[in-house]
Chains A and B, each alone.
Chain A
Amino acid sequence: MNGIVSGGWEFVWAAYAVSAVVLAGYCARVINGFFKARVSQERGAKGMGL
């Protein structure tokens, strides 16, 4: 034990992978939600004869 951390690349990759998955997943969910909401609103507008 010398107080210096050796190795640890698996933790580095894990941190980057989790960050990429969470951010990409959330971005995809937001973009998908936006297009769904827009389609739904357009259908509603057509129903009102606009």
Chain B
Amino acid sequence: MRKRIVFPFVLIVLGTLCLLAGSYNGLAIAPAEQHMGDTQRIMYVHVPTAWTAMLVLTWAFICAVMYLFFASWKWDHRLEAAIEMSVVLCLLLCIQGSIWAKPTWGVWWDWDPRLTTVAVLLMAFAGISALRHFIDEPVKRATWTSVATIIGFIDVPIVYFSVKWWNSLHQQQSGVGTISREFLIPLMVNFAGMLLLLAGVMTIRARTAALRLEEEIAPPPLSVVLAAEVMA
């Protein structure tokens, strides 16, 4: 029975509209920053990516713990979607950061604590994603990736606190109270857009994982069973 899914597509459309509005505001309406000039406009896309990456990674951790506790396939499907999305967001974060680093720090990359810990996170989740493709047995695959996700998640608080614990080129986190309104509007609109878009995409990706598993563990077609009986 075909199950209709409309809501995730509505989220994707709303998210895209928010991202377009926020980006227009950030590029054309918001003023240039006093010291970084126009390059600071990268913040309106880089910071929402960082915030959503942290949320998606935390969601992946929750899914992994829930799967290990309840052994329910729905948590494994959500975990698969969250792991893949984490890889995409961490990769994007590294690329955006690198593009911002060149005009402000003078280099594309530096083995700074924040950049290094994010790169480790990218490698860890890319490895977990690869692990899922190597294991054929569904229960073993779900259990191993849940355990690997919990281990990989250890790096998330290290990424967050890296700028406080060590001397870092990367600036410390700014709070909502320390950013003026002109900068805050595009930042929050883009963040809302990223959240809506990713929620929609992850819901569809989890549904795909469910369909693939159903096919993987489904019994053989009736025609094959009947043919086998006739042969016997």
Which of A's residues lie within 8 Å of B, judged by CB?
3-9, 11-12, 14-16, 18-19, 22-23, 26-27, 30-31, 33-34, 37-38, 40-42, 44, 47-49
Contact = CB atoms under 8 A, between A and B. Distances in A.
A44 B45 CA distance: 42
Interface residues of B, number: 40
A33 B205 CA distance: 8
Interface string B27-46: 10000001111110110011
Contacts, number: 99
B119 interface: no
A49 B224 CA distance: 11
Interface stretch (B57-65, B96-104, B109-117, B138-146): B96-104
Contacts of A49: 221-223
Contacts of A4: 34-35, 37
B201 A30 contact: yes
Contacts of A38: 2, 211
Main secondary structure of the interface of B (DSSP, over half): helix
B208 interface: yes
Given A16-B23, A19-B49, A22-B91, A44 B221 contact: yes
A44 B215 contact: yes
B45 A19 contact: yes
Contacts of A23: 88, 92, 197
B214 interface: yes
B181 interface: no
A42 B207 contact: no
Contact of A37 (B12, B37, B49, B215): B215
